[in-house]
Amino acid sequence: MKKAIEVKGLYKYYKVGNEIIKALDGIDFEIMEGEFCAIVGTSGSGKSTLLNMLAGLEPPTKGEIIINSIHIEGFSEGQLVDFRRKYVGFIFQSYQLIGTLTALENVALPLSFRGEGRKKRLEKANQMIQKVSLENHKDHMPNQMSGGQQQRVGVARALVMEPKIIFADEPTGNLDTRTSREIMKLMQETVRGSEKSMIMVTHDDELASYADRVIKIIDGHVVSITVKEKIEGN
């Protein structure tokens, strides 16, 4: 199985007054292609800092981040923007949908940044809307949809760019338990049998149980990595 992400000797220090805060203190792990990985930790554990660095939103103090065989730790901001556009999709806790656009138009929006024509954008968006079972809601505005439906739009928007890596930041934080489970199953299905990898940050051990690989972080250290044995055909 091919490695999607490698992290080697990763450190992130912040200076607050005269104090040095060690957000990440020497982290090493890998994530394989086609895996759903959960990074688990309480508030202040360093999990969100780690996600930001993997997504190229924040530079490390020291260490290596290798994604799709590309070292990104020394990239300029322009290189990181280009990298994210080519390889990365995001699913947010707060959905971040545009209130004046329909579900279909929200999904199509990222494709406009690639310069794709309106007809092609909407065709691709319509395919993704079908994948997340929202055909009957594609013409609805965000305020006409439930939280779970809006998050499905968020998943479709992340997938429409055909990213190699999908980052999800507490994606079910605003959802009830039943809807959270539906979204987690959808995220499982998204990467299962594909060449995509999904990295989710959460504080919830139950949600993490849906992942193939669970990386637990406490005080900037990886304290455990649990990998499920995949059953052929699942």
Which domains does the chain possess? 3-227 (3.40.50.300)
Question: What is the C-alpha to C-alpha distance for residues 221 and 103, in angstroms, rounded to an integer?
Answer: 40
For residue 47, give every residue at least 6 positions away whose Cβ sits within 8 Å of its Cβ, in sequence order, or none: 39, 40, 41, 201, 203, 217
Report which DSSP code applies to 230.
P
Q: Is the distance from CB of 4 to CB of 164 less than 8 angstroms?
A: yes
Task: Record the pTM.
Answer: 0.89
CA end-to-end distance (rounded Å), the chain? 16
Say which residue, 93 or 227, is predicted with more confidence. 227
Strands 221-227 and 213-218, by their bridges, are antiparallel
pLDDT band at residue 230 using 50, 70 and 90 as cut-offs: low
pLDDT in tens, 150-185: 999 999 999 898 899 999 998 888 888 888 888 889
Length of the chain: 234
Residue with tokens 């060690």: 22
Strand order in the sheet with 221-227: 88-91, 165-169, 197-202, 36-40, 213-218, 221-227
pLDDT in tens, 47-92: 999 999 999 999 999 999 999 899 999 999 999 999 998 899 999 8
Say which residue, 32 or 234, is predicted with more confidence. 32
pLDDT band at residue 192 using 50, 70 and 90 as cut-offs: confident
List, in sequence order, every residue forming a beta bridge with 21; answer none if it has no partner: 14
Segment (H or E) for 151:
helix 147-159
For residue 134, give every residue at least 6 positions away whose Cβ sits within 8 Å of its Cβ, in sequence order, or none: 103, 149, 152, 153, 156
Residue with tokens 């990886």: 222
pLDDT band at residue 231 using 50, 70 and 90 as cut-offs: very low
- Considering all CA atoms of the chain, what is the largest pairwise distance in Å, rounded to the nearest integer? 56
Question: Tokens representing 199?
Answer: 């990295």
DSSP string over 171-228: TTTTS-HHHHHHHHHHHHHHHTTSS-EEEEEES-HHHHTTSSEEEEEETTEEEEEEEP
List, in sequence order, every residue forming a beta bridge with 221; answer none if it has no partner: 218
pLDDT in tens, 4-46: 999 999 999 999 989 999 999 999 999 999 999 999 999 889 9
